[in-house]
Structure 1
Amino acid sequence: MSEAQGFGTVDGMAHSHLAEMLDLDADVLHQYHHDLITWISSLTPDRPLIIDVGAGTGTGALALARRLPDAQVVAVDVSEPMLEHLQHKAHELGVADRIRTVQADLDQTWPALGPADLAWASASLHHMADPDHTLAQVFAALRPGGVFTVIELDSFPCFLPDEAGAALEERCHAVLAEKRAEAGMHIGADWGLLLAKAGFTVEAERRFDIALQAPLPAAAGRYAQVSFQRMRDGLEGRIDAGDLAALDAISAEILDRDDLTVRATRTVWLARRPRTQ
């Protein structure tokens, strides 16, 4: 999944909220996404074949298809609802003829997808049961000289500027980090080392420190609200009643606040399959 924020693949109403959050992330963090897509697009040859590994709602697949009008994109995800959402957006944006969706469990043996010129994995690799297996599959799907872009989260978005609110967010994020570690997620893994181990040549590592101040994009309030609602759901039974009540109160009034900020970090690794292989 792409930009899934570590909450996992879900169905029904929870899927709807997750899909909305992923779309809001692309909207609110527009400048970050624009800068990233511009950089990566400059590295692709003419008429590239691109694989979006864990595509989610298609932030990467759609942006790359729009930026590169001669590209063909294969969007792969385990979630059929996510892929249906992606297809609907592709039709709305007029790029559906250049995006093919493939439903597949990326922890298993992959279907034939390449040879690709670019593979893109945004906030999806940390979900994989065996990252070494996944990286080997990406390596095999790329043509020699092909580029693999890995985007991972160093931190999840924070929104509250006041001291008490920031302390609450810090406590909640710490508990969620423990929960993800218990679940076997690989947030914080040394992806540069793992990429090199898989045979890639790591050509760049770039950190994006995102710090948006007022005036924020119009969707920022809803982005914060959905993020807090999902945070609250993940913390049920893991923090005290006072903090849960505080999260509920924040979610209820956050759309009316004019003091929000958006703070997050993302790290991007640019790796290449050697041309001699």
Structure 2
Amino acid sequence: MNTSHQDHTHTHPHPHTETDALAELLELDAEVLQAYLSELTAWLGELADREPRRIVDLGSGPGTGAIALARRFARADVTAVDLSPQMLHRLSKKASLLGLTDRVLGVQADLNEDWPALDTCDLVWAASSLHHMADPDRVLARAFDVLRPGGLIAVTEMDFFPRFLPDDVGVGRPGLEARVHAVLNKRPADEWTEHLRRAGFVLEAKRPSAIDLPAPLPAAAGRYAQVSLRQLRFHLDGQLPAEDLVALDTVIDDDGPHSVLRREDLTVRTNRTTWVARRP
């Protein structure tokens, strides 16, 4: 996943680099939303005309999608393409731990430029990556060329950033998270149907997924909330009242009774949409 989000270091210096922080966020996302990801890959298997044997993950980040696909389709080889060598290194370590080294290959490349040589594949996966491309239509046209006739492309995008907090977070600023999202979620949700058709694909299905995980959640959800909100916090200086920023800093701090790491009332609420199209 190529993105410009950065880790918040305004009031809470963090030892991770920007890339490490983003990689951790994506890995936590996959861990906390494991059931959603499993259902999504199973659905792709139902839509495929035969079990995928070659899969390409475009803008793979640390490879959470590549790993999920390799585990779902036990006979498939997965090529994960990303610009960041740090992301691909994390993918390599994870694949090794899971015994998937022989089936999951990371390839460093800028998808906005010349593509690497890729074998014809059965499935292309692009999760939260296309909207970061300089020319998504060009990327989709290249994906069309890589797919065999009858092969599928799956494009997933987030409709809005995950939400975690109750309305009253106990820091004197009710509705804090709603105001954060009102500032940051200004762009309309992506719609990829026409992009896919322009590239030559035939839309097979469009699947909206409403994710609503109730409290109490596993400990990883607290860290997921913290890393997510720190990513958002970086962009909020000057856009929210000072009192809201102080309250948000209290919530995302490591210490204190209101820290997301110590709360038992966290939930995870988000919507994601997947478009699946077939090469005729």
Query: Do both proteins adopt the same fold according to a TM-score greater than 0.5, normalized to the shorter chain?
Result: yes
Q: 2:109: which partner in 1?
A: 104
Aligned residue type for 1:207: P
Does structure 1 retain, via aligned residues, the 8 Å contact 2:61–2:88? Answer: yes
Residues 1:260 and 2:253 aligned together:
no
Superposed displacement of residue 31, structure 1: 1.0
Structure 1 counterpart SS, 2:78: strand
Superposed displacement of residue 220, structure 1: 0.7
Which structure carries more helix by proportion? 1
Q: 1:35: which partner in 2?
A: 39
Does structure 2 retain, via aligned residues, the 8 Å contact 1:8–1:127? Answer: no
CA 1:111–1:232: 2 relative to 1, 3 Å? same
CA 1:196–1:8: 2 relative to 1, 3 Å? farther
Q: 1:270: which partner in 2?
A: 276
Q: Deviations over 1:226-275 (max 9, x none)?
A: 1111111222343332221111011121111111111000001110000x
Structure 2 counterpart SS, 1:162: coil
Q: 1:174: which partner in 2?
A: 182
Q: Which runs of 5+ in 2 are unaligned?
A: 8-14, 254-258
Deviates further, 35-44 or 105-114: 35-44
Residues 1:73 and 2:78 aligned together:
yes
Residues 1:154 and 2:162 aligned together:
no
Q: Distance in 2 between matches of 1:254 and 1:243?
A: 16
Task: Note the aligned Cα RMSD (angstroms).
Answer: 2.1
Structure 1 counterpart SS, 2:234: helix
Q: Distance in 1 between matches of 2:113 and 2:159?
A: 26
Superposed displacement of residue 163, structure 1: 4.8
Residues 1:7 and 2:5 aligned together:
yes
Q: Distance in 1 between matches of 2:209 and 2:52?
A: 28
Aligned residues between the structures: 264
Deviates further, 137-146 or 43-52: 43-52
Does structure 2 retain, via aligned residues, the 8 Å contact 1:41–1:64? Answer: no
Deviates further, 224-233 or 199-208: 224-233
Superposed displacement of residue 200, structure 1: 0.4
Q: Give the fraction of aligned pairs with identical amino acids, expressed as a percent.
A: 51
CA 1:250–1:12: 2 relative to 1, 3 Å? closer
Structure 1 counterpart SS, 2:226: helix
Q: 2:60: which partner in 1?
A: 55
Superposed displacement of residue 198, structure 1: 1.2
> Aligned match of 1:83 in 68, 80, 88?
88
Q: Distance in 1 between matches of 2:44 and 2:166?
A: 33
Q: Which runs of 5+ in 1 are unaligned?
A: 182-186
CA 1:23–1:44: 2 relative to 1, 3 Å? farther
Q: Distance in 1 between matches of 2:174 and 2:39?
A: 28
Q: Deviations over 1:98-152 (max 9, x none)?
A: 1111111111121221311000000111111111111111111111111000000
Aligned residue type for 1:167: G
Q: Distance in 1 between matches of 2:112 and 2:238?
A: 30
Q: Deviations over 1:146-199 (max 9, x none)?
A: 100000010110011225767322322233235xx6xxxxx6232011111111
Superposed displacement of residue 44, structure 1: 6.0
Aligned residue type for 2:247: A
Superposed displacement of residue 41, structure 1: 2.8
Q: 1:142: which partner in 2?
A: 147
Q: 2:10: which partner in 1?
A: none
Superposed displacement of residue 214, structure 1: 1.5
Structure 2 counterpart SS, 1:173: helix
Does structure 1 retain, via aligned residues, the 8 Å contact 2:226–2:260? Answer: yes
Q: 1:184: which partner in 2?
A: none
Does structure 2 retain, via aligned residues, the 8 Å contact 1:44–1:118? Answer: no
Q: 2:234: which partner in 1?
A: 233
Q: Distance in 2 between matches of 1:260 and 1:191?
A: 32
